[in-house]
């Protein structure tokens, strides 16, 4: 070791880890005595860190080696990266976390300890060690028990600013710089989501006023659209212990009550029928699986339709109700208040409902139609010569629009471009203002750059891209292709305006059996009224490549898809069109923020030639995301038929009533309207008015 300085003594010398030089010292130890040698380690110029040395001690007839490991401590210097922390909204009895981050810009080890915080703040009070040039975070949370607004200070004791020696002492964290962060926490009354009409099951709360606490994510029964009335309310009761599944006749009184039973053993409709025969008003079913994955409480196709409501809640919710029923009574209300749309053939009907926030805090809401009742029927598809009673879709070709320069030759092989839409477009009942355009012949409403490729043959999956509109999904090559976009000549302000993406001269992959020469040209049209059209102008003769092509739609969540490949008439070898028309189209925003006591109108257009029924899930949360709620509303489309019929002229009311003579006769004109009975499918006619003709 190199000596720090040349002044040596019999008992002291200094080490510095600098090169391989050594220092020696001769010590005389008197007989039957001992001598101490003190080693002073380190120097002003020594870098911080762990250093090692070795002391060799030799004497006449022997030697030993003593390893020396020593840490050189530098000076800690801390920076607090946030001077304040805010919690704009924390629900009562909830807890929200924030992180305060320290950076150590010194070369010594830093220590940080949070002082005890006042209510409703709390945090980790243990000491945190931050190495040189490192960083660490301390967690603080706000957990209010009541509504209110609180201010406080987060004080942190540290060893920052102390010299290298003092910063290592046991109580050093109490001697250095104290850092301060101001804390602000607000807890308002939670938002309160209320729909004008609602379908669901709720507990009736009576203190301090009557409120309904709906069970989150309750699963609806398939027969709900056929129920009479709109709601029932009653005490929640249990069947006998040996009939906890509700699959046997009841031997305990349950009349006018709602019965709590477990899933399992028999059909859901059989559970409802058993409760119905015992004059129960409804069935609250709870799952027997840890995670509820059923989208619908279904019934067998050949079974009778129950006449009482049923909703299924989670296993956790059901078991909690079981425990509570042992010591208290519970009141339950079930509602199936549908929004009904009466439609005429070929025409749409507009319906709406109010979404309200009766709480103090902001309410962030989104509305999404459920596809549990059949994603395949959300869009009705129309082909040339299809047997649907309507005129076939007409082919037309748009004048080439603005070429999307992004799709140059090196991009067009496997890329996608995010393009704003000229109007809000409703896709599976949700509004969108932009879409991804893929070089592979499809559009995606939930995609990302470099997520252009789709695996063939196509299968719906949650991996992006999702929300696909595929005119001809294929791994194309772009040799002489042109991809352009435009708006139909009438302009974006027209109700029938369409956004057009035109794919011209796309080449099939050269590895396909048909070779590299075959090309295809087609258009995808997204129209303001929710209609989607595919126009096919040029395409090769059908063969094996068509077996894997994806032509159709995928849902936003990637859970389901509709492939129209086998129905598309490519074999006719002439240009043709395919049209997809939704039965439910969003005609207003499907998400937003409601402040205290604000209301928004959620509007849909309903149009179909067959009867439909579906749920719209309205989900809500506060600013923090800690409070969440969901309520459902059912939209039912009823086909309405209308006709006018006249009777025969009655007998003459005067004596002179010849063919050309004066006289008075009476007749009547009836206006008839009717709807198909959803339970029987048979028409039910009703005279709307009768007008007398004289």
* pLDDT, tens digit, 9 for 90 and up, residues 481-508: 889 999 986 655 566 799 999 999 888 8
Q: What is the mean pLDDT of residues 16-30?
A: 66
* 326, two tokens: 């042992």
Tokens of 615: 């749920």
Question: What's the pLDDT tens digit per position in 237-254?
Answer: 999 999 999 999 999 999
Average pLDDT over residues 213-231: 90
Percent of the chain with pLDDT over 90: 47
- 110-147 pLDDT, tens digit per residue, is 999 999 999 999 998 899 999 988 999 999 999 999 99
For residues 687 and 429, give the distance between their C-alpha atoms in angstroms, rounded to a whole number: 35
Distance of CA 35 to the CA centre of its chain: 77
Give the mean model confidence (pLDDT) for residues 477-481. 76
DSSP for 364-411, please give it.
Answer: EEEEEE--TT-GGGTEEEE-TT-SSSSPPPPP--PPP-EE-TT--TTT
Identify whether the C-beta of residue 602 lies closer than 8 Å to the C-beta of residue 429.
Answer: no
Positive or negative torsion for Cα 160, 163, 164, 168: negative
CATH level 2 (architecture), domain 78-187: Sandwich (2.60)
Residue ranges of the domains in the chain? 12-72, 78-187, 218-337, 349-378+586-636, 379-582, 647-693
Pick from 526, 557, 552: which is nearest to 446 by CA? 557
> What Å distances lie between residue 356 and 88, 260, 585, 619, 649, CA to CA?
21, 31, 21, 12, 56
Given strand 416-427, what is the order of strands in its sheet? Answer: 416-427, 430-438, 442-446, 466-473, 550-554, 561-563
- Strand-pair partners of 336: 199
User: What pLDDT does 387 receive?
Assistant: 58
The phi and psi torsions of 375 (rounded to 5 degrees) equal -70, -25
Helix, strand, coil content of the chain in percent (nearest 5): 5, 45, 50
Provide CB contacts within 8 A for 513, sequence distance 6+: 543, 544, 545
How would you classify the pairing of strands 282-286 and 310-313? parallel
Terminal CA-to-CA distance of the chain, rounded, Å? 129
Rounded CA-CA distance 243/225 in Å is 28
pLDDT at 492: 55
In three-state secondary structure terms, 680 is coil
pLDDT at 488: 85
Residue 246 · residue 220 · CB < 8 Å: no
- Model pTM score: 0.72
Name 151's Cβ contacts closer than 8 Å, sequence gap at least 6: 182, 183, 184
78-187 and 349-378+586-636: same fold?
yes
CB 361 within 8 A of CB 629: no
- What's the mean pLDDT in 602-612? 86
**Residue 515 binned pLDDT confidence (cut-offs 50, 70, 90):** very low
- CATH fold, domain 218-337, is Glucose Oxidase; domain 1 (3.50.30)
pLDDT digits (tens, 9 = 90+) for 322-361: 999 999 999 999 999 999 888 887 788 999 999 999 888 8
The answer to whether 668 and 646 are in contact (CB under 8 A) is yes
Task: For the chain, give the percent of residues with pLDDT over 70.
Answer: 80
State whether CATH 1.10.1660.10 applies to domain 349-378+586-636: no
Lowest mean pLDDT among 59-63, 539-543, 655-659: 655-659
SS3 94: coil
Best CA proximity match to 179, nearest among 201, 208, 159: 159
**Stretch 634-663: mean pLDDT:** 63
Q: Which two tokens stand for residue 17?
A: 């880890």
More confident residue, 1 or 537: 537
Per-residue pLDDT, averaged over 169-186, amounts to: 94
Picking from 41-55, 369-383, 427-441, 523-537, which range would have the lowest pLDDT averaged per residue?
41-55
In this prediction, residues 28-41 reach a mean pLDDT of 80
At residue 32, the pLDDT reads 85
């Amino acid at each position: 070791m190199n000596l720090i300085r040349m002044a040596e003594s019999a008992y002291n010398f200094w080490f510095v880890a600098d090169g391989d030089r050594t220092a020696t010292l001769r010590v005389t130890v008197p007989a039957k005595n001992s001598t101490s040698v003190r080693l002073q380690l380190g120097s002003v110029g020594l870098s911080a860190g762990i250093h090692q040395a070795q002391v060799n001690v030799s004497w006449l007839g022997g030697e030993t080696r003593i390893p020396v490991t020593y840490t050189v401590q530098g000076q800690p210097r801390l920076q607090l990266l946030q001077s304040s922390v805010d919690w704009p909204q924390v629900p009562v009895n909830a807890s929200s976390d924030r992180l305060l981050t320290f950076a150590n810009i010194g070369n010594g080890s830093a220590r940080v300890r949070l002082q005890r915080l006042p209510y409703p703040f709390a945090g980790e009070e243990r000491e945190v060690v931050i190495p040189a040039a490192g960083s660490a975070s301390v967690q603080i949370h706000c957990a209010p028990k009541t509504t209110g607004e609180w201010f406080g200070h987060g004080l942190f004791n540290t060893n920052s600013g102390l010299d290298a020696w003092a910063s290592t002492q046991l109580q050093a964290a109490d001697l250095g710089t104290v850092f301060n962060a101001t804390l602000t926490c607000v807890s308002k009354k939670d938002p309160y989501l209320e729909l004008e009409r609602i379908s669901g099951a709720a507990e009736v709360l009576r203190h301090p006023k009557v409120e309904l606490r709906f069970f989150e994510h309750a699963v609806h029964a398939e027969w709900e659209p056929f129920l009479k009335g709109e709601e029932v309310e009653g005490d929640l009761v249990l069947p006998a212990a040996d009939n906890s599944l509700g699959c046997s006749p009841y031997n305990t009184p349950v009349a006018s009550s709602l019965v709590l039973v477990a899933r399992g053993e028999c059909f859901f409709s059989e559970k409802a029928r058993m409760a119905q025969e015992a004059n129960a008003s409804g069935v609250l079913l709870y799952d027997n699986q840890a995670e509820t994955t059923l989208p619908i409480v279904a019934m067998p196709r050949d079974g009778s339709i129950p006449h009482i409501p049923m909703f299924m809640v989670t296993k956790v919710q059901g078991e909690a109700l079981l425990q509570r029923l042992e010591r208290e009574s519970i009141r339950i209300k079930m509602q199936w208040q549908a929004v009904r749309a009466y439609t005429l053939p070929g025409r749409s009907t507009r319906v709406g409902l109010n979404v309200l926030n009766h709480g103090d805090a902001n309410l962030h809401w989104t509305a999404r139609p459920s596809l549990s009742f059949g994603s395949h029927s959300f869009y009705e598809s129309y082909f040339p010569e299809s047997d649907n009673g309507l005129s076939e879709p007409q082919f037309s070709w748009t004048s080439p629009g603005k070429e999307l320069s992004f799709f140059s030759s090196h991009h067009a092989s496997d890329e996608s471009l995010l393009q704003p839409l000229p109007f809000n477009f409703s896709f599976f009942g949700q509004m969108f203002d932009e879409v991804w355009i893929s070089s592979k012949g499809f559009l995606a409403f939930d995609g990302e750059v470099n997520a252009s490729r789709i695996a063939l043959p196509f299968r719906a999956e949650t991996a992006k891209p999702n929300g696909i509109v595929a005119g001809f999904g294929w791994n194309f090559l772009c040799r002489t292709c042109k991809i352009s976009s435009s708006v139909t000549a009438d302009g974006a302000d027209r109700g029938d305006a369409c956004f057009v993406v035109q794919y011209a001269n796309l080449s099939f992959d050269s590895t396909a059996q048909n070779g590299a020469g075959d090309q295809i040209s087609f258009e995808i049209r997204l129209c303001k009224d929710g209609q989607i059209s595919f126009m096919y102008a040029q395409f090769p003769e059908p063969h094996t490549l068509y077996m894997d092509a994806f032509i159709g739609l995928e849902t936003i969540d990637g859970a389901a898809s509709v492939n129209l490949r086998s129905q598309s008439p490519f074999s006719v070898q002439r240009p043709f069109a395919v049209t997809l028309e939704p039965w439910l189209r969003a005609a207003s925003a499907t998400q937003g923020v409601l402040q205290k006591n604000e209301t928004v109108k959620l509007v849909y257009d309903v149009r179909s030639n067959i009867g439909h029924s579906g749920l719209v899930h309205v989900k809500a949360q506060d600013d923090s995301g800690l409070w969440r709620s969901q309520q459902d509303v059912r939209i039912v489309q009823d086909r309405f038929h209308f006709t006018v019929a006249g009777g025969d002229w009655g007998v003459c009311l005067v004596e002179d009533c010849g063919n050309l003579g004066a006289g008075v006769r009476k007749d009547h004109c009836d206006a008839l309207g009717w709807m198909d009975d959803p339970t029987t499918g048979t028409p039910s006619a009703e005279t709307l008015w009768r007008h007398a003709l004289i």
